[in-house]
Structure formats: structure tokens, C-alpha cells
Amino acid sequence: MRKVVASTNVALDGVMEAPDRWFFPFWSEEFSRSAHEELLASGALLFGRVTYQEFAEFWPTATNEPEIAEQMNGLPKYVASATLTEPLAWNGTTLIKGEVPEAVARLKEQPGGDILLLASASLVQTLMEQDLVDEYRLRIAPAVVGSGKRFFADGSGTKTMRLVETKTFDTGVVALTYRATGNEK
């Protein structure tokens, strides 16, 4: 069974919204290699609508990270949306409409590599409520943003996790990987 791996960049105060305004000073060659390795280990990408639209506008023509762009553009992509009628013209995209948790549960049963869920806080929260997220990869930047959408929402309920990996990058970003207790494979 495939795992759903939720991966995002967050500030010390838990904000993950608009990383283009605060995270890029912490990007480095070492961080780029790690992001590429994460993509190489994945069999598909999963997005909420907002993140999907941002990525679909950027990655098909990205030139600054060619290895990441090649992998990002080549993987099968799934976008969960109640408002899109069809996905943007980004190679290999399938639109998930209707009951998203059920569709993701079916995706997990298919053969292939892990399903990498990038950013998409609302989608993560929906899937977390249904115990469909198996692993959380948080790259915590040494910055306080002050306001914005947080990766884990208030009132999302208690979830316990087990720390399985830590890594500190040369820019001070700390990567923490947690597995949801009870979802370990």
C-alpha cells in the first residue's frame, strides 16, 4: 500500500502560507538536493487547488532547478478541487472531484511509489481527519512570519506521531519527519 506523505515548509510559528515571501532566503544547494531526492522517491504528486494552480503556472517552464522541474513535470499529478472543472494543461494531471478522502484512499491502494502531498494545508487537514496521511515532513525555517495559514489548523484534534528522522541544513532549516501513530508501514 502506498503512503501519503505531506511535505511543506513552515516558519517557527507554524505559518506555511506564502513561502515566496519568507522561505527563499533559506534555500540552498543542499536543500535543493534534498527536495530532488524527495521527488525521486515519490510515485505521484497530490495537491489542493491553490497549490496546484501555483505549481502548474511555474514548473512547466521553470529553468532555475532543472532536475526538480523534470521530475515534477514527469510525475502523475492529482488535484483535489470542488471548483475546477478541468485541470490546467500540466502534463499528467487528474482532477479529483467529489469525495476526496475516498478517492485518496483508492489511490493509496494502487501500486506505485508514495503519494507526495505538497503544501496544500486544507487538503492535509481534510486527509488528516480521516487518518489518510501516513507521514509528515516539515522543513522548519528559522523565521517568524506572524500571521497566515498554518499547516495544522486550530481545532484539528489530537494526533500523535513518532519522530523518524531529523536533518539540519546549512541555512538553519531543520527538517523533521514524523509518522502518524497507527499508520506506520
CATH of the domain at 158: 3.40.430.10
**Tally of domains in the chain:** 1
Q: Tell me whether residue 36 is in a domain.
A: yes
- Which pLDDT does position 156 carry in this prediction? 66
Query: Rounded to an integer, what distance in angstroms lies between the CA atom of residue 97 and that of residue 89?
Result: 17
- Which pLDDT does position 89 carry in this prediction? 78
Query: Rounded to an integer, what distance in angstroms lies between the CA atom of residue 33 and that of residue 155?
Result: 35
Q: Tell me whether residue 56 is in a domain.
A: yes
pTM: 0.91
**Residues forming a β-bridge with 166:** 176
Residue 75 Cα distances to 14, 71, 101, 107, angstroms: 28, 6, 21, 14
Which SS3 state, helix, strand or coil, does residue 101 take?
helix
Which SS3 state, helix, strand or coil, does residue 85 take?
coil
Are 88 and 53 in contact by the 8 Å Cβ rule? The answer is: yes
Contacts of 32 (CB under 8 A, 6+ apart): 65, 68
- Which pLDDT does position 177 carry in this prediction? 97
Domain span holding position 101: 4-180
Q: Tell me whether residue 95 is in a domain.
A: yes
- Which pLDDT does position 91 carry in this prediction? 86
Q: Tell me whether residue 185 is in a domain.
A: no
Computed on alpha carbons and rounded to an integer, the radius of gyration of the chain in Å comes to 16
Which segments of the chain have a pLDDT < 50? 185
Q: What cell was used for 120?
A: 496544500
